[in-house]
């Protein structure tokens, strides 16, 4: 039997001109939750992230700091970009750097192959370039100031006029094929607003585009012209191939990984880099005769004061500032819960505090505390066997079935907020059940001993299911909850639990050792002014 195809998810690779802010962490968290969910579906998964280290922007950052570009990249990757993965608890399978040999080799092989197809030719480029975007602009894309300066609308910074003899990629030749591809594959770009934007851009007609730079030296050398390097985007996009073994020696493990991993199932990107991923990238793959990614999903921006959060504009917040206060699980939960994936959203400490308290400390955390404390108190920490289910108990079991179905369907659409909402509805129902059933009253009367057993079991078994559903979002605290429920003895590791089996009632073995402990989501002091500012 051939190995199954991996469910392959990528983040953009991040520029190392500066340290990460929460906008970058947002994409990585989304990919991490998505891939953990798929692992719990039983899929083989490959999750890739990494760093984009070439180009003018990074080279200038290095020079401005008085170090060689390679040294600069090494330093930022080791002190900032790799550590942030730990801060946000990302479980990526690989980390690709564009300055690595495996990447450079793959880039050279790719462009050599495309040149042989006749889709690369020498020409003159004259026009504006935005170093922030690392993008050749069209005059119509720019903001004209009264004094004549032209600004990039994304970075609010003047563009630079360049004039070079470059190598061009024959993008125009792929216009019709791209349109046909998107016609035939309506989900290949999502959400719908992104798809419409891409299609109307292609319909305007595509111009050929420089694939190399002659005035830049920090990059991958063109194999056939040692005076030029590959244009940084046409180097960076190839990370999705080179990281999984494109360009590796045949017969090696790396080369075999390519066969079981490509094409990507989802490229997660911010909306600002949609065009690169949904127009240039598929055209490059078509030129090389390779299959196209199944989906490019464009998410929105984290905004500050209505504008994209960015280091350049000094509005970037380091993920550790939030994680130090709320913890990594709350960080992961909040951004996916509060902002509809695909739309822009604003971050505020107040809003995060409110949601944290209401949904995590009070909602889920309180349920977990109550259930474990009552089993501890009324049954010496041994999970009782349920005796007889009443209609209320059975209704709750039906609600769980509905919650799992809704959450799983939402995850298919990358609707993280929808999945969390469906799960939260169930948390609220279980909390309502506890309030109604009043186990603390049942505990006072010997005649209610059997009913109390059933109610305690229903609470813990509901939490068993909730731990599984929340685990991709909040792995640390759900792992803790799992062990407090005594679930690992009977059921194994939480990450091994399957989404499809979550609503099967009665999995937590009676007799399990339930332990109470500190709150999973402790109540927090209001963020200090210093944090909030
Ligand atoms: N290096 C390129 C990507 C190459 S992928 C082959 C790049 N890097 S970046 O560091 O500038 O941005 C990486 C990702 O972070 C992009 O998807 C971008 O949209 C995202 N974000 C940067 N600021 C953001 C916000 N304020 N909010 C949400 N995402 C943001 O582009």
Which pLDDT tens digit goes with each residue over 7-50? 999 999 999 999 999 999 999 999 999 999 999 999 999 999 99
13 lines ligand 1 (CB under 6 A): yes
24 CA from centroid of ligand 1 (Å): 6
Q: What's the average model confidence in pLDDT over 509-519?
A: 97
Q: Mean per-residue pLDDT for 329-353? A: 96
162 Rama sector, left if φ>0, alpha if ψ -120 to 50, beta otherwise = beta
Is the sign of the CA dihedral 229, 233, 234, 237 positive or negative? positive
What pLDDT does residue 139 have?
A: 79
* 518 to 180, 477, 488, 515, 525: CA distances (angstroms): 57, 11, 19, 10, 16
Whole-angstrom distance, CA of residue 320 vs CA of residue 337: 19
Residue 530 lies in a domain: no
Query: From atom 15 of ligand 1, which residue's Cα is the shortest distance away?
Result: 24
Residue 461 belongs to some domain of the structure: yes
Domain annotation covers residue 488:
yes
Residue identified by tokens 């002190």 is 79
Best of 272, 308, 345 to mutate for ligand 1, by most ligand atoms within 8 A of CB?
272
CA-nearest residue for atom 18, ligand 1, is 270
Tell me which of 21, 25, 52 to substitute to probe ligand 1's pocket, judged by most ligand atoms within 8 Å of the beta carbon. 52
Distance, in Å, from the CA atom of 521 to the CA atom of 328, rounded to the nearest integer, reads: 11
Q: Of all helices (H) and strands (E), which one includes residue 230?
A: strand 225-230
Which of the 8 DSSP states describes residue 448?
A: G
Query: How many A from CA of 80 to the centre of ligand 1?
Result: 16
Of ligand 1's listed atoms, the one at least distance from the Cα of 268 is: 17
* Residue 3: predicted pLDDT: 79
Bridging pattern class, strands 266-270 and 160-169: unpaired
Tokens representing 509 are: 């073995």
From 29, 273, 315, mutation site for ligand 1 pocket: most ligand atoms within 8 A of C-beta: 273
| CATH, residue 465 | 1.10.730.10
CA 437 to chain centre: 40
The alpha carbon of 191 and the centre of ligand 1 are apart by a number of angstroms equal to 17
| Rounded distance from Cα 283 to ligand 1 centre (Å) | 21
Kindly list the distances between the CA atom of residue 521 and the CA atoms of 94, 165, 409, 471, 478, in Å, as whole numbers in the listed order.
Answer: 31, 59, 28, 15, 11
Q: Does a structural domain hold residue 446?
A: yes
DSSP bridge partners of 9: 47, 266
Ligand 1 contact via 342 beta carbon (within 6 Å)? no
Nearest alpha carbon, ligand 1 atom 24: 23
Atom of ligand 1 nearest to the CA of 277: 6
The predicted structure's pLDDT at residue 156: 85
52 lines ligand 1 (CB under 6 A): yes
Pocket lining: 237 vs ligand 1, CB cutoff 6 Å? yes
Cβ(241) – ligand 1 distance below 6 Å: no
CA dihedral 307→311→314→315, nearest 10 degrees, is 40
Structure-block tokens of residue 11: 């983040």
**Is there an atom of ligand 1 within 6 Å of 209 CB?**
no
pLDDT in tens, 332-342: 999 999 999 99
461 token code pair: 């078994």
Q: pLDDT band for 1, please (50, 70, 90 cuts).
A: low
Q: Which of 386, 397, 371 is nearest to 511 (CA)?
A: 386
**In Å, how far from its chain's centre is CA 447?**
52
The token duo for 451 is 């009913």
Alpha helices in 135-219 (DSSP H): 175-184, 192-203
Question: What is the tens place of the pLDDT at every residue in 371-386?
Answer: 999 999 999 999 999 9
**Ligand 1 centre from 122 Cα, in Å?**
30
- The residue-averaged pLDDT of 395-422 equals 98
Q: Which atom of ligand 1 is nearest to the CA of 281?
A: 6
Positions of E strands within 327-475: 345-346
**Scanning the structure block, which residue is given the tokens 């009443």?**
390
Distance CA 475, CA 241 (A): 29
Nearest-CA neighbor of 490 among 519, 455, 461, 452? 461
Q: Is residue 366 part of a domain?
A: yes
Q: Sign of torsion, CA 501 502 506 512? A: positive
Which of 110, 270, 304 has most ligand 1 atoms within 8 Å of CB, for mutation?
Answer: 270
Q: Which of 24, 107, 268, 276 should be mutated for ligand 1, with most atoms under 8 A from CB?
A: 24
Query: Which of 152-166, 179-193, 221-235, 412-426 is the least confident region?
Result: 152-166
**What are the tens digits of pLDDT across the range 271-300?**
999 999 999 999 999 999 999 999 999 999
- Residues in CB range of 127: below 8 A, 6 or more apart: 136, 137, 138, 139, 161, 162
Q: How many domains in the chain?
A: 1
- Provide the percentage of residues in the chain whose pLDDT is more than 70: 98
Residue 365's pLDDT band, with cuts at 50, 70 and 90, is very high
pLDDT of residue 102: 96
* Residues tagged active-site: 21, 24, 130, 133, 152, 155, 308, 311
Query: In terms of residue numbers, what domain contains 441?
Result: 349-501
Ligand 1 in contact with 27 (CB < 6 A)?
yes
Position 360 scores a pLDDT of 98
Residue 525 in this model has a pLDDT that exceeds 70: yes
Check pocket membership of 269 for ligand 1, CB cut-off 6 A.
yes
Check if the beta carbon of residue 508 is closer than 8 Å to that of residue 481.
no
**Which atom of ligand 1 is least distant from the CA of 237?**
6
Pocket of ligand 1 contains residue 424 by CB under 6 Å: no
Neighbours of 434 (CB within 10 A): 21
**Coil, strand or helix: which one is 52?**
strand
Predicted confidence (pLDDT) at residue 419 exceeds the cutoff of 70:
yes
Backbone angles phi, psi at 317, to 5 degrees: -110, 130
Q: Is residue 260 part of a domain?
A: no
Write down the pLDDT at residue 307: 83
DSSP letter (8 states) at residue 335: H
Task: Tell me if 124 is assigned to some domain.
Answer: no
Domain assignment present for 179: no
Q: Which of 175-179, 386-390, 415-419, 527-531 has the lowest mean pLDDT?
A: 527-531
Atom of ligand 1 nearest to the CA of 272: 19
pLDDT of the residue at 357: 97
Residue 533: per-residue pLDDT: 54
Bridging pattern class, strands 143-144 and 150-151: antiparallel
Distance 53 CA to ligand 1 centre (A): 13
302 lines ligand 1 (CB under 6 A): yes
Is residue 460 within 8 A of residue 447, CB to CB? The reply is no
Is a pLDDT exceeding 80 seen at residue 134?
yes
Residue 384's H or E segment, with its range, is none
């Amino acid at each position: 039997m051939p190995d199954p195809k991996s469910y392959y998810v990528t983040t953009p690779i991040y520029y190392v001109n500066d340290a990460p802010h929460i906008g970058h962490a947002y994409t990585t968290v989304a990919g991490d939750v998505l891939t953990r969910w798929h692992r719990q579906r039983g899929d083989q998964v490959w999750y890739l992230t990494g760093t984009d280290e070439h180009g003018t922007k990074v080279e200038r950052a290095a020079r401005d700091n008085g170090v060689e570009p390679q040294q600069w990249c090494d330093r930022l990757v080791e002190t900032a970009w790799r550590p942030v993965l730990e801060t946000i608890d990302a479980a990526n399978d690989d980390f690709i750097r564009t300055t690595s040999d495996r990447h450079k080799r793959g880039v050279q092989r790719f462009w050599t192959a495309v040149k042989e197809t006749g889709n690369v030719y020498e020409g003159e480029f004259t026009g504006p370039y935005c170093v922030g975007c690392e993008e050749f602009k069209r005059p119509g894309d720019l903001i004209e100031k009264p004094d004549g300066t032209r600004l990039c609308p994304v970075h609010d910074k003047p563009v630079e006029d360049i004039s070079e003899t470059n190598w061009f990629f024959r993008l125009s030749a792929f216009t019709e094929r791209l349109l046909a591809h998107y016609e035939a594959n309506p989900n290949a770009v999502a959400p719908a607003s992104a798809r419409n934007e891409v299609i109307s851009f292609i319909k305007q007609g595509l111009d050929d585009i420089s694939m190399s730079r002659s005035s830049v030296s920090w990059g991958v050398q063109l194999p056939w012209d040692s005076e030029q390097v590959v244009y940084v985007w046409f180097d960076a996009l190839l990370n999705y191939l080179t990281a999984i073994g494109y360009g590796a020696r045949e017969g090696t493990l790396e080369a075999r990984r390519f066969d079981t991993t490509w094409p990507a199932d989802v490229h997660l990107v911010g909306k600002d880099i949609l065009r690169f991923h949904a127009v240039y990238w598929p055209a490059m793959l078509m030129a090389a005769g390779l299959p196209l990614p199944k989906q490019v999903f464009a998410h929105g921006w984290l905004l500050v004061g209505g504008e994209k959060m960015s280091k350049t504009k000094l509005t970037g917040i380091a993920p550790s500032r939030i994680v130090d206060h709320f913890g990594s699980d709350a960080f992961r939960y909040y951004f996916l819960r509060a902002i509809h994936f695909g739309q822009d959203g604003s971050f505020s400490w107040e809003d995060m505090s409110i949601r944290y308290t209401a949904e995590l400390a009070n909602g889920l955390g309180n349920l977990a505390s109550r259930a474990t404390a009552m089993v501890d108190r009324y049954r010496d920490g041994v999970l009782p066997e349920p005796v007889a289910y009443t209609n209320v108990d059975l209704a709750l079991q039906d609600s769980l079935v509905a919650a799992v179905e809704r959450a799983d369907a939402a995850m298919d659409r990358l609707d993280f907020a929808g999945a969390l909402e469906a799960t939260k509805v169930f948390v609220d129902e279980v909390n309502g059940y506890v309030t109604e059933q009043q186990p603390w009253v049942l505990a006072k009367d010997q005649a209610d001993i059997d009913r109390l057993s059933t109610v305690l079991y229903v609470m813990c078994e509901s939490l068993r299911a909730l731990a599984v559903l929340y685990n991709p979002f909040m792995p640390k605290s759900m792992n803790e909850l799992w062990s407090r429920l005594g679930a690992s003895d009977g059921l194994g590791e939480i990450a091994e639990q399957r989404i499809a089996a979550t609503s099967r009632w009665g999995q937590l073995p009676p007799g399990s050792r339930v332990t109470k402990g500190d709150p999973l989501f402790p109540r927090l002091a209001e963020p200090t002014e210093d944090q909030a500012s």
